Chain A
């Protein structure tokens, strides 16, 4: 196999030269507002997880480009991102990696040590099928086949969480994703501001009284579901999503993704015991015209970065108790296809952002881009996604049943969490 070089991480609390040079407000904040404040405030509490799944397979080499890899240009003719300082060039993260220019809104979080990119990560049992790869990743199944898990890793974690609220978890898709399937108190709620008694407002209370009475008489299971539902209606009804004003001048993109993050901020600030919200962003399956500069990839990256940055600003001090985990089913192939696009690959990246993240660096065991270092033409995977999730679960999200969350696999902690 290929020799694996450990890429030396830049210590989070030692801002590099670039951060000093930037000198802007963000960098100043990063230097004067020590992260330790956040850490101290939350060390004993359990964080909330905001999970973002980038559906379709995000191209990690464009998002976080290894500009100093000597084989980048030859491996990605025509589509490699230009290095720092060049026109459309990536933003300097360290002497090896650069961030996509449309992800610039994330630099503040990076410079204050709250953003971590885990590169060349993924599932060793990955498949080139979106369907299979997403399912395997979301179920948390071991690469050892035949486990046949029908529940998801988030749900197995949430199911035994003590001290969570009525609503432990929430998915913002039409149906619960595989990751969220299998726990009580986890509901698919596309628009939490709309989760109320349906029908005319004038008769809502009376209808509710009638329904409540009926469900109290019902079988144990329906009675319990009725209680959960009324409690969640009350819970969400107590939060004014409609008139919610983001703090700190945060401005979310006017997209469903942005709106769902804004709702999530309102929900988490209300501090009602919600431990996980999943928000997905679709459209990363760039087989034709990747558009890393001025195209589709750039637009999606911009939407992602603006949203995450707005969320961070909006959460302000409370951001210490929230960690965002961004993942995707696989990375894309290293070399472009005939349509200036990229087919399905293997190694990708995860993005972690939050007060509990040991960020300000790119964590990787860089496998390299030379032909002999690729895995069937793909970026090799050197960090199992469960190492990252497992550590966050235990250190930040109060997980006590990790062997049930990732059966058949023992995550190796790599220092991603504070």
Chain B
């Protein structure tokens, strides 16, 4: 695809794209976007491996369990009941990578997949296994193709554990995963029958993983003796007897490329990035899904095209989920994290501890689910800027330098949101600042906290 003329940009220009494919403002990414232009910038973000990411890498290096196999995590923490260690490391690292990585579109897709293939980490063995799932499924396949990520998820020990498939056998098939792979992960409810659920479950019998105690614990394993090798009839396709492991692969491919899946996933991606589901965009993305066999980069080029943004009614905004809010604050400001043990708990207090949604459908992507938690957001901002979140230090003074008090609200808004039109929130914050006779560090922190608590910072 070669662009002859620069694309017509929607209102707000490339900052619209930047806001939706990132966790918020930081000077580096904004400069990059503006210097490359829409198409080249999007292309770069669609290929995260093509550019270095030192700060993202530094986060990974800080948390040893991120690079460990399930067996290593089990030996180091599982056997002595320290399941919290790998869980909290993964949660904290996820937030810090969202804040610090330059591969912002990748991180936004990692979050998307984390919810799409939702696994409750607090569910027993998932505490050990989710780290591998995050690495092999949500990250490794974040921008590959849907058949590949669905297949990776189907081979993920964490998924096979949390939906009970690891105990599914020909004599007593467990329909849990067979159902969810159709209902939640691909076609969506209403596009398959109960018969399909049973057949999907039969296709997946024998799909499990090596248990703890095995040297390669957590590795996918197909056990032929547990597999139902009879003929199957799934979504209108006859699957002959004796297919073995191929039955499951056929299911994955059939589900991944089903027209209902293309529609549903296109819609879901539109909602995630555009905050709306304009039917022409959904249709174009679905057609691209069919033409490219679910190639995620190709589909995202459609969803994230300037014309797609232009087709969303003006004024449609998305409400940040608490994770997004926290990542956005940390992203915008200089901070150190010598021992960030409390960050995950802060997310939990806002109801959004990563990988802790108790159902397999993932944290909701709807404002209505989240706006009830404003007090938690305000408390988080207040504690963070007052440096009361242990193990994390925000350099509050650096935001204001020697600027006079009369410009603090603008300074804070610029630091958190970057250049752009001033909202009425800025006046309200400045009015608050003006109410105090003298400058103080406490007032600086409050100025930032109020700016981050303002309604304009809850949306993007």
Contacts and interface: CB of A to CB of B under 8 A. Distances in A.
A218 B356 CA distance: 30
A198 B373 CA distance: 13
A176 interface: yes
B291 interface: no
Nearest to A215: B455
Contact of A226 (B361, B382, B424, B455): B455
B164 interface: yes
B179 A145 contact: yes
A229 B319 CA distance: 17
A139 B442 CA distance: 45
A116 to B, nearest CB: 29
A148 interface: yes
A164 interface: no
B235 interface: no
Interface string B130-168: 000000000000000000000000000000001010000
A146 B454 contact: no
A168 to B, nearest CB: 11
Interface stretch (B67-75, B272-280, B295-303, B425-433): B425-433
A303 to B, nearest CB: 22
B435 interface: yes
B382 A199 contact: yes
Query: B-side binding surface: helix, strand, loop or mixed?
Result: helix
Interface stretch (A27-35, A82-90, A200-208, A390-398): A200-208
B353 to A, nearest CB: 7
Interface stretch (B14-22, B207-215, B261-269, B364-372): B364-372
B379 A198 contact: yes
Contacts of A211: 378, 450, 453-454
A219 B351 contact: no
Interface string B316-349: 0101000000000000000000000000000011
B373 A188 contact: yes
Contact of A210 (B162, B197, B376, B450): B450
A215 B458 CA distance: 11
A136 to B, nearest CB: 10
B194 A146 contact: yes
B386 A199 contact: yes
Interface residues of A, number: 51
A134 interface: yes
A178 interface: yes
B372 A225 contact: yes
Contacts of B352: 175
B9 interface: no
B344 to A, nearest CB: 11
Contact of B176 (A132, A146, A199): A132
Contacts of B162: 131
A402 B353 CA distance: 32
A135 to B, nearest CB: 5
Most A-side CB within 10 Å, residue of B164, B373, B375: B375
Contacts of A200: 442, 446
A146 B176 CA distance: 11
A143 B90 CA distance: 35
B367 to A, nearest CB: 6
A145 to B, nearest CB: 7
Given A148-B189, A175-B348, A222-B458, 18 more contacts: A132-B164, A146-B179, A150-B359, A176-B351, A187-B373, A187-B375, A188-B351, A197-B378, A198-B375, A198-B383, A199-B446, A200-B446, A207-B446, A211-B378, A213-B428, A219-B455, A222-B455, A225-B372
15 contacts: A139-B359, A174-B351, A177-B358, A184-B372, A186-B372, A187-B373, A214-B429, A219-B455, A221-B367, A222-B459, A225-B371, A225-B374, A226-B374, A226-B455, A229-B375
Interface of A: 127, 129-132, 134-135, 139, 145-146, 148, 150, 174-178, 181, 184-188, 190, 195, 197-200, 203, 206-207, 209-211, 213-215, 217-219, 221-226, 228-229, 232-233
